[in-house]
Structure 1
């Protein structure tokens, strides 16, 4: 069996690792001109199911390395005013294990055949039950299965399920990261909490690795090369309705909305890595109408993009990878039946993930 995966995000790469372990031929095609063409790394929360799916797809020899590069989430569960005084409590807040997306992606890339600068331009099912995919600057590729793991603007979805389109929630937020130093000790109670004032909310979360990623790889898995990333605070500011940068940089936009806030909060934004601060819109994709089962399917944000408030986008994509892997391995002679079995499960839990993330969105914006 040969599987072609369009998209080198966490979900697509996790699937590729899992299938490669099972002896299934895979190729990954990525539209970006290079793996590091754009920054793709912030702290993310791994649910028990997401971590289990990740372990299921990774080679067992890397499990110790995975454990070493994770961190433990802190959850203050407080609502604070701009001077860091408690004024309330958050509702149910998920705690657990955190990972850095940039580091995790490099682990998942290890040893995989990834073709960059290869945007999908179309595909055609063949009479023999296989599929021919076309990518820019490449000869056509024939596979038994094409998996669209190409994100919220998925080119695979545009053909497979053109009626399924992203919905803009109207919510905008600025996100960035700042090295975690002793200067920010006063922010300890704010980690895992929400600071609210002047019509905006600021959320902070720490990424503290159990072992520095590069050091962990050199010690536990020398064949893996991980980026040299230090501990940091991930911050995100939710802007008011119709909020924008108004021609400012992301940092300037946050600083303009935090005049008079606690000086350590101001310093946190001022010292952020400017290259890793950006404005994002919250868009979702809801899986609704099923397509006719065939040699093409979707995974991750391509079919169920969630609001980040649910904390389940990456976890659901990892679950997709593991479920699809298990289905293909269980019935290798009935490939289409395996894909249909995967899709029935994925549509159910994927739709629930989107709904729960939207239900949590108001708590972020007020």
Structure 2
């Protein structure tokens, strides 16, 4: 994934204390959203102290550059982000935060560490819906299973690479990435691991060592040889093992799960449909499917609450997910999908339009469940 999108999504991980919390006093519901005014040189936040729970923000880009806004926790853990905010436009987002010190960062041009403002969250969020607590617990089980799957498949892929079996490594490449792509918001929250595992050559910063899947992808499809890539292969497994070791300590908040579902759709729009993600293998549609499945899993887990609070939205979500799946199914071939370089621009636009139709209802989930 491009370095400017590395974190994109991962507001998912924070202690389950008040996993479903959030009241109007915590910034959700009827409370007014806190303004974040982003310019090319400043990041102005309307307030710097918040009660724990659900907090609403409204970002307005008053600068001349496309920007993005991050909420960082301790150690630069990404709690949530919004990207590709054009000049003169505004976006709203909701996040659930426990007591602690955080930073809001505006990134004009979508590069660098950003212009940062400190915020403080205090108190304890109100106890919430047991259904949301169950959804969060079930999502952790899902994330664990997906990381286990991607690690097991990557070990097989790496064995083929180290054996010098190019044909077998090519067959195993896309399947090895599916678990990762389905929970990409979680993986990307670890700013040290994500660039080592999933950075693309086009997005490397000066002096950055290139490692991970896409380095092996280039060797397999561009040069046709993986000679000398043994260390890269071993490093990939080691980094995924490190990711797996961090999962047990993570907990998930429902609102941030919903944000992650939206960001998975953003991943499809900005990386998969454009063909940028898998520039050499053209296995973008497999990644597309995994992103879509990950977003739908969040929808399914939160659906009982959405149905109770906004039945029409639940129906719309089912319909729109179904439309995207049906369209994507046209490109199935064997156990995977056709090479994406064979998909014409008109067909890509249809895929893009279908994903765009899903964006709006998915973006409403966080607000509905935080009422």
Give the TM bin, normalised by the shorter chain: under 0.3
More strand by share: 1
Q: Which has the higher contact order (CA 8 A, sep 6+)?
A: 1
TM-score if structure 2 supplies the norm length?
0.25
